[in-house]
C-alpha cells in the first residue's frame, strides 16, 4: 500500500481511476460528462471532496478519444481490415466526407464514410465498391459493401488518427 497524507490509499484510487477511465473511453455511450461524474464519485469514495475534474485529450478540452478496429474490406483502399483507428467521440456536426463510426441497430459498430445528411438522417457509404465473394452458410455469395441510411443520433464519433 502506498502511504499518503491523510491516510488515503492513493495507489488503489489510481488503479480504480485508470480502470474506470479506460472503460469509459471505450464505451460508445460515454462522454466527458459521464467520465467526469464517475471520476468524481471514485474520488469521493476515497474521502476527497470539492473535486474539480478537467478532461483534456489530443482533441481538446472535454473531447474523448476511442480506439476502434476495422473489421472488413468495405472501406478499402482508405482503411484496411484489422487497422486500428482513433475516433473523436462526438455526435455533433460530422461533415459529408468524414469517416465516422456509428452504432447500428442491425450490426454492432460500423465505420463508414458520411455520404449525405438529410435532416436527422445520414447516409453511410463505403469506399470499396468492388463485389466480394464470401462463403455464407457453406455457399459462395457475391456481396457488395453495405451502404444505408441511419439516424444521426447513432453517430459515435469521427475518425481522426489512422494506422495506429
Confidence of residue 58 (pLDDT cuts 50, 70, 90): very high
Question: Count of CB atoms within 10 A of residue 110's CB?
Answer: 23
- 23 φ, ψ to 5°? -60, -45
pLDDT for 164: 85
The arithmetic mean of pLDDT across residues 16-28, rounded, is 94
Cα separation, 84 vs 105, whole angstroms: 22
pLDDT for 107: 67
Given a contact cutoff of 8 angstroms between Cβ atoms, the answer to whether 94 and 154 are in contact is no
What residue ranges in 5-164 does DSSP mark as E strands? Answer: 56-57, 60-61, 64-69, 84-89, 99-103, 109-118, 121-125, 132-136, 139-143, 148-151, 155-161
Residue 44 scores a pLDDT above 80: yes
Given a contact cutoff of 8 angstroms between Cβ atoms, the answer to whether 156 and 99 are in contact is no
Q: What is the pLDDT of residues 85-98, one digit of tens each?
A: 999 998 788 999 99
Q: What is the pLDDT of residues 98-148, one digit of tens each?
A: 999 999 887 689 999 999 999 999 999 999 888 777 777 888 877 777 789
List the strands of the sheet with 64-69, edge to edge. Answer: 64-69, 84-89, 155-161, 99-103, 109-118, 121-125, 148-151
The arithmetic mean of pLDDT across residues 71-88, rounded, is 93
Instruction: For residue 112, give the 3-state DSSP assignment.
Output: strand
Residue 49 scores a pLDDT above 70: yes
Residue 12 scores a pLDDT above 50: yes
Stretch (H or E) spanning 40:
helix 32-45
Given a contact cutoff of 8 angstroms between Cβ atoms, the answer to whether 114 and 97 are in contact is yes
Confidence of residue 3 (pLDDT cuts 50, 70, 90): very low
Amino acid at each position: 500500500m502506498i502511504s499518503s497524507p491523510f491516510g488515503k490509499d492513493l495507489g488503489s484510487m489510481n488503479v480504480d481511476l485508470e480502470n474506470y477511465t479506460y472503460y469509459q473511453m471505450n464505451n460508445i455511450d460515454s462522454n466527458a460528462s459521464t467520465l467526469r461524474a464517475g471520476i468524481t464519485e471514485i474520488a469521493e469514495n476515497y474521502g476527497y471532496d470539492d473535486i474539480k475534474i478537467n478532461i483534456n485529450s489530443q482533441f481538446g478540452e472535454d473531447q474523448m478519444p476511442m480506439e476502434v478496429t476495422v473489421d472488413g474490406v468495405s472501406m478499402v483502399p482508405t482503411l484496411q481490415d484489422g487497422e486500428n483507428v482513433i475516433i473523436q467521440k462526438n455526435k455533433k456536426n460530422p461533415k459529408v466526407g468524414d469517416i465516422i463510426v456509428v452504432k447500428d441497430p442491425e450490426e454492432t459498430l460500423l465505420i463508414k464514410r458520411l455520404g449525405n445528411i438529410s435532416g436527422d438522417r445520414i447516409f453511410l457509404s463505403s469506399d470499396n465498391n468492388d463485389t466480394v465473394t464470401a462463403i455464407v452458410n457453406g455457399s459462395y455469395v457475391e456481396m457488395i459493401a453495405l451502404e444505408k441510411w441511419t439516424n444521426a443520433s447513432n453517430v459515435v464519433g469521427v475518425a481522426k488518427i489512422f494506422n495506429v
